[in-house]
A and B are shown apart, each in its own frame.
Chain A
Amino acid sequence: MEKRGENYWNSKLREIQNNKPEKNSAYDEWKARTLEPWNKNTGYIPREFTNSSSIDLKEVYTEEDLPQNHENQLGMPGEYPYTRGVYPNMYRGRQWTMRMFSGFGTPSDTNRRLKYLIEHGESGLSIAFDMPTLYGFDADNPRSDGEIGRCGVNVSSLQDMEEILDGIDLAKVSTSMTINAPAAVLTAMYIAVAKKKNIPLDRIAGTVQADILKEYIAQKEWIYPPEAHIRLIRDMMVYCTENVPKWNYISISGYHIREAGSSAAQELAFTLADGFYYVEMGIKSGLKVDDFAPRLSFFYNSSINFFEEIAKMRAARRIWATVLREKYGAKNERSLLLRFHTQTSGYTLTWQQPLNNIIRTTVEAMAAILGGTQSLHTNSYDEAWALPSEEAVKIALRTQQILADETGIPDVIDPLGGSYYVEWLTDRMEEEAYRYFDTIEKLGGILESVKKGFIQKEIAGTSYRRQMRLEQGKEIMVGVNRYVEKNEKPISTLKISLKAQTDQVSKLKRLKESRDSEKVSKALRDLENALRNPEENSMPYIIRAVEAYATLEEISNVGRNIFGEWKEPVIV
């Protein structure tokens, strides 16, 4: 219980402190009796044993490293606090979704790749967009020159979305779209395609990332200042809660935070802090926590320190369930479940000796499965060079299929539960997260912490330390700072021709000539009026604009004129 003058996080930290074991006599005695004499006689490797979160590791862990309330903190699978898994039967009930993030070139290039993946056993779609799309610029904007289709597929209008989804049954597959700043527009496009195909909106399922806080923190793909985006997310949240019940309108993402250089503990803490912000936003906009919390999902990185990743994922589930129940009063069990997608780490891939990346990805994918992920993307070995080739993507997908069908790893739920080390590490990750929640609250909340640049600086600091450790040889990357090969053979990579750009630009030109321009102007005017009124839900207006074939940039410009743009605080 909270004491006077203490916030909720202080009370959790005190609880953790009170439950900590006082001493570990088994370890201390063993150390003096057996370990130290052995080290003295036979020698040992003098190096630091630590992880990305700078948590120092002992040689071995025992029962005495676990807190007194250890059993209560675990729960059984599908039971509070869900440390061991969100579902009672986990992968015996349903295999994780193999969801390969893909998108490049023109909408029809991407449509072919998506069909190729479905044909090879992929179970859910995941669409990557190019940079102009992510920033709300059309293909014909001069700033888009050279960028069309490079990092993902280009979408300038509804007709592009129609091409991407051509021949794909939206009532059967779920689709994840990695889109943030313009998430409401892309959701509107998906809804518009479903309507055209006569699929009822309660049958389409999917996820947009729409986690704008982590854009300011890490991925840095924004259009407006934070408050404007938060308002748009609110509109989408309220609209979808009422109309598109299987749409996950926010995927709270640690992936980019980690790739930007954070530690596992920072990834854990910052994503959950973002998640709590969205919960408070939903409550403030008049929704009941149990009406929307079940639709919030998470997206984690699985990096190369195997046990640290597993501990992070287990801790995430426990913290979310605990805080949703204790702090936000959630009653519906589904509100407490932290469901998450995982992607293996892009940062750990090397351009040197690229086939080694297959092994790294395999280890990271194993951690995700042992951590209880609901869906998984495995990176391709050639991604330090370019977007993946078809062959490389297939190996990445096969990696998941081998793990699922051959290894027996998914057969038993949370097989590492009860491991002294993993349980201790899970507790430590949890404690680090609560410390950050406390700090963030003292800074005025997560939005303030981001606007001040605090979170970004924390990440940049960790990233720089890690780079220094690599430079000093305190951390090893095979092929980079150890086992370096002088003459590496080039690999063949995916080429994206400039034709994607010319095709997209001329298609857009034709569209602008052939659409009903009066209908477009009216839809944009109506949208402007809706956006100027903070009480109005802008989502129906965005859908109408999209259906009139107003372009992504035209729709984004309505907001740009009202809300302005964003300049980030100084980080270096």
Chain B
Amino acid sequence: MSGGIYLENGKSQLLFKDKPIKILLAKPGIDGHDRGILVLAKAFRDAGMEVLYAGLLPTPESVVETAVNEDVDVVALSLLNGAHLTVFRKVADIMRSKGIDDIALVGGGTIPDEDKPKLEEIGVTGNYGPGTPLSVIIEHVTTRAAEARKRKLSR
């Protein structure tokens, strides 16, 4: 899936042909609920992505630092402890303050509907809850990764 071809202006662009999507998974709050993120790590890997997992309890600062050092396409944040509005925002703010625009930010966890627009506004997309088909998540990540990769390539 991640080796997919993206058609743009009638030209085929093999975005991920030489280098598959690189994704960093992280739970940047105080939260041990890791069932979802561990399943996703395997699913992304099975879908051909290069997967990094930041482990439990990384700070938002260290997540961004790892993302930059590893030159990932996507950072996927997961929280099931209700702190997503505060903590996802911290990650987004740090990225913005550092001027990072070639890494996509996606989220997931126990996120009430009314919080989703607030997260989208700060650039955290997806925000899928438990019970979302993996295919939906993989597709979303792939789309966002393609945007990020294009920005990287246009540099």
A residues neighboring B (CB under 8 Å): 131-132, 134-135, 137, 143-147, 150-151, 215, 219-221, 259-261, 347, 350-352, 384-387, 460, 463-464, 467, 471, 477, 480-481, 490, 493, 496, 567-568, 571-572
**Cα distance A132–B42 in the bound complex, in angstroms:** 29
Residue from B34, B51, B53, B55 in contact with A567 in the complex, judged by beta carbons closer than 8 Å: B55
- Hey, which chain A residues are within 8 Å of B135, CB to CB? 471
In the complex, the answer to whether A386 meets B112 with C-beta atoms within 8 Å is yes
**Distance from A423 Cβ to chain B, minimum over Cβ atoms (Å):** 32
CB distance from A18 to the nearest CB of B (A): 39
The answer to whether A463 and B35 touch across the interface, beta carbons within 8 angstroms, is: yes
Q: Is the CB of B35 within 8 A of A131?
A: no
Q: Which residues of B sit under 8 angstroms from A477, Cβ to Cβ?
A: 131
For chain B residues 54-111, which have a beta carbon within 8 Å of chain A?
A: 55-57, 59, 81-83, 85-87, 110
Distance from B126 Cβ to chain A, minimum over Cβ atoms (Å) = 15
Chain B residue contacts of A131, Cβ below 8 A? 29-31, 81, 83
* Residues on A with beta carbons closer than 8 Å to the beta carbon of B56: 220, 568
Residues of B within 8 A of A143 (CB): 30, 59
Q: Which of A150, A463, A572 is B53 in contact with, Cβ under 8 Å? A: A572
Whether the pair B129, A150 counts as a contact (CB closer than 8 A) is: no
Chain B residues with Cβ below 8 Å from A135 are: 30, 57
- Does B10 sit within 8 A of A, measured CB to CB? no
A137 touches B39 (CB 8 A): no
Complexed CA–CA distance, A467 and B43 (Å): 10
Minimal beta-carbon separation of B30 from chain A (angstroms): 4
Looking at the assembled complex, report how far the CB atom of B69 sits from the nearest CB atom of chain A, in whole angstroms.
Answer: 18
- For the complex, give the distance between the alpha carbons of A210 and B20 in Å: 43
Cβ A463 vs Cβ B39 within 8 A = yes
B88 CB to closest chain A CB (Å) equals 9
Closest A residue to B82 using CB positions: A150
Q: Would B112 and A568 count as touching, CB distance under 8 A?
A: no
* Contact present for A481 and B133 (CB under 8 Å): yes
- Chain B residues with CB below 8 A from A134, complex form: 30
B134 interface contact, C-beta 8 A:
yes
Q: B32 within 8 Å of A by Cβ?
A: yes
Chain B residue at minimum C-beta to C-beta distance from A148: B83
11 examples of A-B residue contacts, CB within 8 angstroms: A132-B30, A145-B87, A146-B87, A147-B30, A147-B86, A150-B82, A350-B131, A460-B42, A568-B56, A572-B45, A572-B53
Q: A146-B86, A260-B35 are in contact. Are A384 and B30 (CB under 8 A)?
A: no
**Chain B residues within 8 Å of A460, by CB:** 38-39, 42
Residues of B near A150 (CB, < 8 A) are 81-83
Distance of A480 Cα from B133 Cα, bound (Å)? 8
A221 to B34, CA, bound (A): 11
* Most chain B beta-carbon contacts within 10 A, residue among A145, A146, A261, A490: A146
Q: Which residue of A lies closest to B42 (CB)?
A: A464
A387→B82 contact, CB < 8 A: yes
Knowing A386-B82, A490-B113 touch, does A572 contact B41 (C-beta < 8 A)?
yes
Given contacts A259-B35, A463-B35, contact A147 B29 (CB under 8 A): yes
Give A145 Cβ to nearest chain B Cβ, in Å.
6
4 pairs of A and B residues whose beta carbons are closest in the complex: A146-B86, A220-B32, A150-B82, A131-B30
Cross-interface CB contact of B82 among A219, A352, A481, A496, cutoff 8 Å: A496
Q: Which residues of A contact B86 (CB under 8 A)?
A: 145-147
B29 and A572: CB pair below 8 A?
Answer: no
Contact in complex: B35, A146 (CB < 8 Å): no
Chain A residues with CB under 8 Å of B34's CB are 220, 260
CA–CA, A310 and B101, complex, Å: 53
Contacting pair B131 A572 (CB below 8 A): no
Known interface pairs A131-B83, A351-B130, A480-B131; A144-B30 also in contact (CB < 8 Å): yes
A464 with B39: CB separation less than 8 A:
yes
Q: How far is the CB of B46 from chain A (nearest CB, A)?
A: 9
Shortest beta-carbon distance from A130 to chain B in Å: 8
- Bound together, the chains give a CA A31 to CA B81 distance in angstroms of 51
In the assembled complex, the Cα of A567 lies from the Cα of B54 at a distance in Å of: 11
B29 to chain A, nearest CB (A): 6
Nearest CB in chain B: distance from A99 CB, A: 22
Residue among B31, B32, B56, B87 with the highest chain A CB neighbour number at 10 A: B32
